[in-house]
Amino acid sequence: MNLIRTAKTAVKNMLASKMRAWLSSLGIIIGVFSVVVLLAIGQWATDSILGKINSLGTNLLTISPGAKNSGNVRTIGGGNRNVFLMEHSDLIWKISGVANVAPIISGSKQVVYGSANTNANIYGVTPSYETVKNVTIEQWTFVTENNYKMRDKIAVIWPTVVSNLFPDWDALGKTIRIGTTLFTVVGITKTSGMNDNLIYIPISTAQITISGTPYLSSIYVSVANADLMDSVQIDIQEKLLKSLWKTTDTMNFQIQNQADMLDTANSITTMLKAFLGGVAAISLIVWGIGVMNILLVTVSERTKEIGIRKAIGAKNSDIIEQFLVESVILTVSGGIMGILLSYGIVWLVNYFVTSISASITTFHILLALSFSVGIGLFFWIYPAYKAAKMRPIDALRSE
């Protein structure tokens, strides 16, 4: 039987049974829609998580004091916090493979301007922090080397602080009070999508006004090359242990590797996408079982038609071909409608939920469409085979 003629016959049959065709297509529409949308959201979640980790800095090692041993378990944040001084930061600078070092002193203070006030995280930093942690300045400047040397009382503030203290966003050059000390605002950072009340001041000033001690809260290290991360981490640990007169059993600090964080995040997001894709795939399989039942009923309804065709010379392959062509038309048309619906829903989500920026890729479309067609053909085989195996005389007698 000519393929074009078969396709025309299939379309004619579907138009003659619009409700059955619509119910068959509805499952594929919902299934494809589910696959595409869930994969798009999963991809957005992956990009968002990895983007936030990368925004913290490139090839980053974070050295924190206060790790302690409890049995065979090393806990974070316990023990003595008075471990690192600026001399340890200088020591790390001399290690081969280190591109930049940014020591910090952190604390929390109430910040006041006029009648407005907010609780903010205060970071005492050196000029290198801007590069190491990928800080982008929107207006004016960051902490300079001169600010650090002169212990200037200047502040670089995040947009969240600006919105909390300056409703008119006129913050530059204004004097704010951090704790009991007055600071002049000399810079505003660019928003990073994180809601954080954060203020940067020179680390030399923070040692007096924030912590009251010379000890550092953390040291961030930017490594020149990703391939050097592990070797540089080992060198830093050895140098610090020697400087602090410690061993690996008594070390009172820990080093976090950004590459390990990225690997963990990748594993989690991969499992998330697999889970979301699996949920959507289940809906397609359920749809396939439903469609198979509909087609089995269809075969019974079209028994006489099949008998007539076989009586005038149609082969088993012609009958199977007709049912499979109907399958392809329904699955492809339903898949296209599902994809169009997916684009519409994703656009609405992005429009009304500004924190989400999901997008549909060609891979998502091809995966959903191929999977839906595959499921459709698989569940069409048995009804098509059953129709083809009918004996003409039995089919004609049935009515």
Tens of pLDDT along 55-113?
666 689 999 997 654 444 445 445 567 899 999 999 999 999 999 999 999 999 999 99
Question: Tell me, what's the pLDDT at 251?
Answer: 85
Please write the tens of the pLDDT for every residue from 192-204: 656 678 999 999 9
Residue 394 predicted with pLDDT over 70: no
Residue 52 predicted with pLDDT over 80: no
Q: Is residue 393 packed enough to be buried (19+ CB in 10 Å), middle (13-18) or exposed (0-12)?
A: exposed
- Do residues 291 and 376 lie in contact, with contact meaning Cβ atoms separated by under 8 Å? yes
CA distance from start to end of the chain: 25
Question: Tell me, what's the pLDDT at 368?
Answer: 79
Please write the tens of the pLDDT for every residue from 378-390: 777 777 677 667 7
* Secondary structure (3-state) at 157: strand
Question: Tell me, what's the pLDDT at 203?
Answer: 97
Question: Tell me, what's the pLDDT at 341?
Answer: 92
Question: Tell me, what's the pLDDT at 392?
Answer: 65
Rg from Cα positions in the chain? 33
Strands 60-65 and 253-257: antiparallel
Per-residue confidence band for 374, with pLDDT thresholds at 50, 70 and 90: confident
Question: Tell me, what's the pLDDT at 70?
Answer: 46
Please write the tens of the pLDDT for every residue from 164-173: 999 888 999 9
Q: Of the given ranges (145-159, 306-320, 364-378), which has the lowest mean pLDDT?
A: 306-320
**Percentage of the residues of the chain whose pLDDT score is greater than 90:** 39
Mean pLDDT over residues 44-57, rounded?
Answer: 74
**Percentage of the residues of the chain whose pLDDT score is greater than 70:** 82
Q: How far apart are CA 49 and CA 57, in angstroms?
A: 14
Residue 239 predicted with pLDDT over 70: yes
- Do residues 199 and 125 lie in contact, with contact meaning Cβ atoms separated by under 8 Å? no
**Virtual torsion, Cα 46, 48, 50, 55, nearest 10 deg:** 170
Q: Of the given ranges (49-58, 111-120, 330-339, 386-395), which has the lowest mean pLDDT?
A: 386-395
Cβ atoms < 10 Å from Cβ of 289: 12
More confident residue, 136 or 379: 136
Question: Tell me, what's the pLDDT at 327?
Answer: 76
Write out the two tokens for 178. Answer: 């951090």
Please write the tens of the pLDDT for every residue from 178-236: 999 999 999 999 876 566 789 999 999 999 999 989 999 999 999 998 889 999 999 99
Residue showing tokens 């009918």: 390
Please write the tens of the pLDDT for every residue from 266-302: 788 888 878 877 777 777 777 677 767 766 676 666 6
Question: Tell me, what's the pLDDT at 300?
Answer: 67
Question: Tell me, what's the pLDDT at 359?
Answer: 86
Question: Tell me, what's the pLDDT at 218?
Answer: 95
Q: Which amino acid is present at 106?
A: S
